[in-house]
Amino acid sequence: MLRLIPIFAVLVLLTALPSCRNESWRQKLTVVVETPNGEVSGSSVTEITKRDQRGNWFFPDARGVYSEVKGEAVAVEVLPGKWLFALLDGREDGKGKVEYLVYPAFALDKATDANGRRSYEAAMAKLHAQPLDTPAMIPASDYPLMVTFDDINDPASVKRVDSSDLAAGFGPGVSLKAVTLEITDEPVTDGRVEAVLAWWLDTRSGPYNEMTPLKLPNASPRGWNHLGASAFWSLEYRQRFDRRAP
């Protein structure tokens, strides 16, 4: 009898497969910066997939809507040799994660269904109704985590950027003009960040020889936190770098 339990479990999972509803879209995040030399901008297209595992077919601890990201951070050359990165990761307060940016950009948290109730389904319906390639402003409260390097080739020089005071990080006359998001069918961006931070791909450590995390100074009790490659690249990219690693 016990031997039949795994077979039964497999059948249950196969039955559950159709109930695992996925939503997927591509979005282009654009950062526009005013500089003394004029306006500069950078963009990155990421692909977001939401896996809906809320049904009764799933273990209670596995239920929820999970997000997967494919893509890389936004890199903007603000001044010659001075780069601004808008990361995939959010800030300490949980806001600004790339997979959730559609909510503040398109006011999805206010989307309601036919009964006037806010729901995930209503949010996804509103998202899919968005016109392609039509940028929407992201409010400052939902900006992604932004960092720069004093020396783009020195991992120890990484530092956080205050989006409301870019002049502090880049000098007088530099300010953030806008951060926008649009739904697009453009291909996922690949290679821009790699071209700028090529040195990082060869800086490796740990039991699996992964890219060495950076130390990002902050105001915490310890004074810094690790900033890993996952903030710049999704898993698929990092695995590709790992395979090429020396």
Partner 1 sequence: MTISKDLYLSILSMDAYSRGYHTGLDDLGDASDGSVHIGLADVSFNITDAGIFNAAEASSFYAIAYTMGGNSTTGIANGTTIISYRGTDQPFMEFIPVDLPISYGGSYDQRQIALAQQFFNSVQQNGNAPDIDPAIMLLTGHSLGGAAAALRMAQGRISPP
Residue 81 CB, shortest distance to partner 1, in Å, is 28
Q: How far is the CB of 40 from partner 1 (least distance, A)?
A: 31
Three-class SS of residue 208? coil
Residue type present at position 202: D
124 CB-near residues (< 8 Å, 6+ apart): 23, 50
- How far is the C-alpha of 25 from the C-alpha of 67, rounded, in Å? 11
Whole-number Cα distances in Å, 117 to 109, 110, 144, 145, 185 = 11, 9, 28, 32, 30
**Sole residue written with tokens 């809320």:** 54
- Give CA–CA dist 16/53, Å, rounded: 9
- Nearer of residues 177 and 215 to partner 1, judged by Cβ: 215
Query: In terms of CB distance, is 124 or 229 closer to partner 1?
Result: 229
Task: Report the distance separating Cα 29 and Cα 44, nearest Å.
Answer: 5
Q: Which is nearer to partner 1, 93 or 185 (CB)?
A: 93
Judged on CB neighbours under 10 Å (0-12, 13-18, 19+), 203 is: middle
- Dihedral class, residue 122 (left if φ above 0, else alpha if ψ from -120 to 50, else beta): alpha
Distance in Å, CB of 99 to partner 1, minimum: 10
- Measured from the CB of residue 231, what is the shortest distance to partner 1 in angstroms? 9
Least CB distance to partner 1 at residue 194 (A): 15
Q: Which residues bind partner 1 (CB under 8 A)?
A: 2-3, 5-6, 9-10, 13, 16-17, 20, 53, 58-59, 61-64, 66-68, 90, 92, 94, 97, 205-208, 210, 212-213, 218, 220-226, 228-230, 235, 238-239, 242
Residue 66 CB, nearest approach to partner 1 (Å): 5
- Closer to partner 1 by CB, 116 or 221: give it: 221
Residues 90, 161, 239, 42: is their CA dihedral positive or negative?
A: positive
By beta-carbon proximity to partner 1, the closer residue of 66 and 199 is 66
CB-wise, 37 or 205, nearer to partner 1?
Answer: 205
Tokens 């800030």 -> residue:
91
